[in-house]
């Protein structure tokens, strides 16, 4: 490649293709200041909180960031990977990256991961791919359903990094994949096998999706509809009746109305309706994290059992499981068509 260049010309790297897995993010540790830094970046994102800045800034900096880091830090501590001293989200996303790298190595593809909030940053990941000669990069936001608060802001951050590059790579983005056959089949298999492994038969299976303010739906965000369609497609794939599986929304924040039904209120109400054995999963997440491992697997069980429930089980995300990674590889190869 460098044979015909002038003697004083900088070496030209072999052109390569990069894949960048994009996930939400995580604090670097569970202490107050680490969590505060993370929450400030997260809650300052206008894609997440679209309240006018002059109203939101004093609430965030004078109230929320004075109180919430302690509570969130304690919750992170309940699920923190103490051996690696990292959050499960980071450990799993790194595992997904390494696994996908092994699957694509023979094609000369380089795989990195970046976080929308926290470390490793999206910019640092793009810089690593660029330094290795990647002149084509596929951005893969790890969110099956599209929302401006997830997919869009992940892509925004990547585009911001590209704005400052003198020699930009060509870029593609992976669209929402909630209705892709390979995803529906993989998720359905995960649910079927998860239920079969239990030592009880659930009265109900709950698909709990991360919530968002109802106002975002009214402004045109398609997330709500895509969540319901995900569960419908999976139910049809499993051949289940409509009353066997339901949709709820978790993780609401603040006083405004969010997408309903709420997961926590649903769990508290089910035992009174005679539904005392429940299995639950979180299809909006590709990797287990604080919202799944602490909010659903731990706190959700506490709420359900306290209300009179008898059996409760959390079915993990697809994570870096063989089936989950085969699904991701399938989607990546499809989106790399024409580049490989």
Smallest CA-to-CA distance from 323 within 195, 174, 223, 192 is with 192
**Predicted TM-score of the model (pTM):** 0.94
Percentage with pLDDT > 70 across the chain: 96
Instruction: Check the annotation: does 210 bind a ligand.
Output: yes
Token match 């004093």: residue?
A: 58
* DSSP-assigned letters across all residues of 44-72: T-TTT--S-HHHHHHHIIIIIHHHHHHHH
Q: Going from the N-terminus, what domains does the chain have, and what CATH number goes with each? A: 16-177+323-335 (3.40.50.1400), 181-314 (3.40.50.1400)
- Residue 2: the pLDDT is 58
- 254: confidence class by pLDDT, cuts 50, 70, 90: confident
Express each pLDDT in 175-213 by its tens digit: 999 999 999 999 999 999 999 999 999 999 999 999 999
Pairing of strands 245-250, 277-281: unpaired
Compute the mean pLDDT over every residue in the chain, rounded to the nearest whole number.
96
What is the average pLDDT across 62-91? 97
Q: Is 193 annotated for ligand binding?
A: no
Q: What pLDDT score was predicted for residue 255?
A: 85
Strands in the chain per DSSP E: 16-26, 109-118, 134-141, 170-173, 204-210, 245-250, 277-281, 311-314
């Amino acid at each position: 490649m460098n044979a015909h260049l002038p003697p004083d010309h900088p070496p030209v790297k072999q052109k390569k293709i990069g894949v960048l897995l994009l996930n939400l993010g995580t604090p670097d540790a569970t202490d107050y200041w680490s969590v505060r830094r993370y929450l400030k970046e997260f809650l300052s994102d206008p894609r997440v909180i679209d309240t006018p800045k002059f109203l939101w800034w004093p609430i965030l900096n004078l109230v929320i960031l004075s109180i919430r880091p302690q509570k969130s830090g304690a919750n992170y501590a309940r699920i923190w990977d103490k051996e690696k001293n990292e959050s499960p989200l980071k450990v799993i996303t790194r595992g997904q990256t390494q696994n996908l790298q092994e699957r694509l190595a023979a094609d000369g593809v380089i795989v990195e991961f970046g976080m929308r909030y926290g470390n490793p940053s999206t910019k640092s990941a793009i810089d690593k791919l660029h330094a290795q000669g990647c002149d084509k990069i596929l951005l893969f936001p790890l969110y099956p359903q599209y929302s401006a608060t997830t997919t869009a802001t992940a892509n925004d951050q990547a585009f911001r990094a590209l704005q400052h590059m003198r020699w930009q790579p060509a870029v593609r983005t992976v669209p929402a994949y909630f209705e892709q056959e390979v995803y529906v089949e993989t998720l359905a298999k995960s649910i079927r096998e998860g239920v079969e492994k239990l030592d009880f038969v659930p009265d109900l299976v709950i698909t709990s999706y991360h919530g968002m303010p109802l106002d975002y739906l009214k402004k045109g965000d398609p997330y709500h509809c895509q969540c319901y369609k995900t569960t419908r497609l999976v139910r049809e794939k499993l051949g289940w009746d409509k009353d066997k599986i339901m949709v709820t929304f978790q993780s609401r924040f603040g006083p405004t109305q969010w997408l309903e039904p709420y997961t926590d209120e649903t769990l508290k109400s089910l035992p009174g309706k005679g539904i005392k054995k429940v299995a639950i999963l979180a299809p909006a997440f590709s990797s287990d994290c604080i919202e799944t491992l602490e909010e659903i697997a731990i706190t959700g069980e506490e709420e359900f059992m306290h209300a009179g429930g008898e059996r409760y089980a959390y079915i993990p995300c697809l994570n870096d499981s063989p089936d989950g990674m085969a699904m991701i590889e399938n989607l990546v190869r499809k989106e790399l068509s024409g580049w490989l």
